[in-house]
Amino acid sequence: MTSVLQFSFAPVAGHSRRRQRIHASADRQALFSRIAPVYDNLNDVLSLGQHRIWKRMAVDWSGAKQGSKVLDLCCGSGDLAFLLSQKVGLDGQVIGLDFSREQLVIALSRQKAHSKACYCNLKWVEGDALDLPFSDSYFDAITMGYGLRNVIDKYKAMKEVYRVLKPGSKASILDFNKSTDELGASIQGWMIDNIVVPVAAGYGLSKEYQYLKSSIQGFLTGQELEHIALKAGFSSAKHYKVGGGLMGNLVATR
């Protein structure tokens, strides 16, 4: 059965750092809810459809297989969750989690529109990647596409991923690659300023997509991602460049 569950974000009284984090999270939640109606369309236009290939690679790297119980964190409108659904089949279970209800509503309507038999293994959960509503060692695999860059506390998110994964299982985390060389970073910056933002402006979303550049600048390099995964407890972590180095995928094994 499919359901969109509610999950609350109750602030702890008198804890100012946590309150700040909740405000910053709320801003991002509002941003992703605003772009939800055009998000899928823009992904196709801006990546020339390539994001579909990168997402398939991320799912393959997760090690999900027939019968697996898997989680797609920061699932948005569900691209990775739908791929996982086909991978794990009717014996498996897929949960897509996101804190934007608007994104989940689109995921649910896509699920209903494409009546593939396996899609009945999919559930959508409204929740926070920093405080997962699942018990320890629950999942056989976890994916996260373009989510980690957007969470306020990346280390805490990795700790949560580690906690809910079964020992020996993998997390596959796809995102923009924060380039370590100046040329790579300036090509990426140029593309955002001259292609991404002007195209998004056509949808009335230039401000929302300007955030992309600062979020990549504030993100972690491949090496730093490997480092926080190991610090969070993973036994191994490897970051792969994807899409000519514009994207990257961290594979971490618990």
Ligand X SMILES: C[S@@+](CC[C@H](N)C(=O)[O-])C[C@H]1O[C@@H](n2cnc3c(N)ncnc32)[C@H](O)[C@@H]1O
Site for ligand X (CB under 6 A): which residue of 83, 128, 165, 188? 128
Position 132 contacts ligand X (CB under 6 A): no
User: Which CB, 32 or 234, lies closer to ligand X?
Assistant: 32
Site for ligand X (CB under 6 A): which residue of 106, 130, 142, 161? 130
Residue nearest to ligand X (CB): 76
- Within the chain, strands assigned E span 4-5, 69-73, 93-98, 122-126, 139-145, 165-176, 236-242, 247-253
Position 108 contacts ligand X (CB under 6 A): no
In sequence order, what DSSP letters do the residues of 82-115 get, joined into one string? Answer: HHHHHHH-TTSEEEEEES-HHHHHHHHHHHHHS-
Number of C-beta neighbours around residue 52 at 10 A:
12
Position 103 contacts ligand X (CB under 6 A): yes
Q: How far apart are CA 223 and CA 226, in angstroms?
A: 5
Q: How far apart are CA 96 and CA 103, in angstroms?
A: 11
User: Which CB, 117 or 212, lies closer to ligand X?
Assistant: 212
Residue 36: CB minimum distance to ligand X, A:
8
Which of positions 56-95 make contact with ligand X (CB under 6 A)?
A: 74-76, 79-80
Residue 103: CB minimum distance to ligand X, A:
4
Which of positions 14-53 make contact with ligand X (CB under 6 A)?
A: 25, 28-29, 32
CB-based contact 222:248 (threshold 8 Å): yes
Binding residues with ligand X: total (CB under 6 A)? 21
Q: Which residues pair with 17 in a beta bridge?
A: none
CB-based contact 144:74 (threshold 8 Å): yes
Residues that bind ligand X (CB under 6 A): 25, 28-29, 32, 74-76, 79-80, 98-100, 103, 128-130, 145-147, 150-151
